[in-house]
């Protein structure tokens, strides 16, 4: 084999390796960001509520293989009777990178049917959600709805769910 043939073979091999790595890495980064809600299942009843720092909230579980640096998962709640959207950020979503799983909580304000939206939020959207939360606290928890899912949250998934009936306390 001539020296030119050896150089050509090595160059071709290197170029093929770079192309393969670029395509494979891009695939993993893009499709690994597919966020899923695993519980509740579509049209099912939310899990029993828990007291989370004085707020009665329902747990929501999901998966996400890859979360880009600086991004976070946020849960949004859509009241199906009015179409209003709220980001209940009283507790951050707990993302477990090693397992590719997450858990968050939502508050349902006494509604019967809701849509839960899990979004992968870039830093600018997180700033918007945090500002929204600050304003709500400043105005005695009178949180107006947001008008839409921010367009920067290109990775999102939603599920419709039913709210369990509130247990009625009986007097003795």
Q: How confident is the model at residue 160 (pLDDT cuts 50, 70, 90)?
A: very high
Specify the pLDDT at position 71: 96
pTM equals 0.76
Q: Taking residues 44-54, report their average pLDDT.
A: 88
Q: Taking residues 68-97, report their average pLDDT.
A: 88
Q: Taking residues 131-137, report their average pLDDT.
A: 80
Specify the pLDDT at position 61: 97
Name the percent of the chain lying above pLDDT 90: 41
Minimum mean pLDDT range among 13-22, 84-93, 149-158? 13-22
User: Is the predicted pLDDT of residue 155 greater than 90, yes or no?
Assistant: yes
Specify the pLDDT at position 105: 94
Q: How confident is the model at residue 137 (pLDDT cuts 50, 70, 90)?
A: confident
Minimum mean pLDDT range among 4-8, 67-71, 80-84, 150-154? 4-8
Residue whose C-alpha is closest to residue 86's, from 77, 94, 95: 77
- Give 77's contacts (C-beta < 8 A, 6+ positions apart): 85, 86, 87, 88, 106, 107, 108, 114, 115, 116, 117
Q: Are 106 and 116 in contact, with CB atoms under 8 Å apart? A: yes
Specify the pLDDT at position 88: 77
124 membership: H or E segment, kind and range: helix 123-138
- Calpha distance 172→169 (Å, rounded): 10
Specify the pLDDT at position 167: 54
């Amino acid at each position: 084999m001539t020296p030119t043939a050896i150089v050509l073979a090595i160059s071709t091999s290197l170029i093929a390796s770079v192309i393969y790595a670029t395509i494979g890495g891009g695939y993993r980064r893009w499709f690994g960001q597919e966020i899923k809600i695993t519980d509740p299942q579509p049209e099912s009843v939310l899990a029993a509520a828990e007291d989370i720092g004085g707020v009665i909230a329902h747990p929501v579980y999901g998966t996400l293989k890859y979360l880009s640096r600086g991004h976070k998962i946020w849960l949004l709640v859509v009241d199906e009777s009015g179409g209003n959207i709220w980001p209940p950020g009283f507790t951050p979503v707990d993302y477990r990178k090693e397992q590719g799983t997450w858990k968050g909580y939502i508050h349902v304000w006494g509604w019967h049917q809701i849509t839960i939206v899990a979004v992968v939020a870039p830093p600018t959207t997180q700033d918007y959600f945090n500002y929204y939360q600050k304003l709500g606290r400043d105005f005695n928890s009178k949180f107006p709805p947001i008008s839409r899912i921010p367009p920067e949250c290109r990775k999102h998934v939603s599920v419709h769910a039913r709210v369990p009936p509130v247990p009625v306390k009986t007097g003795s």
